[in-house]
């Protein structure tokens, strides 16, 4: 699988496109203006970088380019998660979870969720 590395800003754009594509630059600007304060020019620059990375694509519309995600959300999340684990925890999921446990940052609900995930993984591994 190809590594996909997105900046925080690129995640904002991708989330909008995954939610409801296609979007024009004008639509992206209107959607993201309140939460980011970005101008049309900022979004154009970011979309250009994202095209080079191969994470967005466009089709010529009647009046404007229509932008689409060129990668699946699940694939991108997995790639970013693996990158984070490699960078911060030397690839060790156990070390990450242990850090969260030692710092008492997990709620009862999160612990229950982790148990359920691990139980499902165990059953699928059989």
- 11-28 pLDDT, tens digit per residue, is 999 999 999 999 999 999
Distance CA 72, CA 88 (A): 24
What is the CATH topology of the domain spanning 1-90?
A: Arc Repressor Mutant, subunit A (1.10.10)
pLDDT for 1 equals 59
Instruction: Enumerate long-range contacts of 81-87, CB under 8 Å, 24 or more apart.
Output: 82/3, 83/3, 83/5
Domain ranges of the chain: 1-90, 92-126
- 45-77 pLDDT, tens digit per residue, is 999 999 999 999 999 988 999 999 999 999 999
Average pLDDT value over all residues in the chain: 94
pLDDT for 58 equals 97
Residue percentage of the chain with pLDDT more than 70? 99
Alpha helices in 3-92 (DSSP H): 8-19, 25-36, 40-53, 73-89
pLDDT for 126 equals 82
Distance CA 85, CA 80 (A): 9
């Amino acid at each position: 699988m190809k590594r996909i590395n997105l900046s925080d800003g690129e995640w904002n754009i991708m989330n909008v496109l995954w939610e409801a594509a296609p979007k024009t630059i004008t639509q992206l600007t209107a959607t993201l203006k309140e939460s980011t304060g970005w101008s049309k020019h900022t979004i154009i620059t970011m979309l250009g970088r994202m095209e080079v990375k191969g994470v967005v694509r466009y089709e010529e519309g009647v009046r404007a380019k229509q932008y689409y995600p060129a990668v699946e959300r699940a694939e991108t999340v997995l790639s970013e998660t693996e990158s984070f684990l490699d960078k911060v925890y030397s690839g060790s999921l156990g070390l990450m979870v242990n850090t969260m446990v030692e710092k008492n940052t997990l709620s009862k609900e999160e612990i229950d969720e982790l148990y359920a995930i691990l139980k499902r993984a165990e059953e699928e591994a059989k």
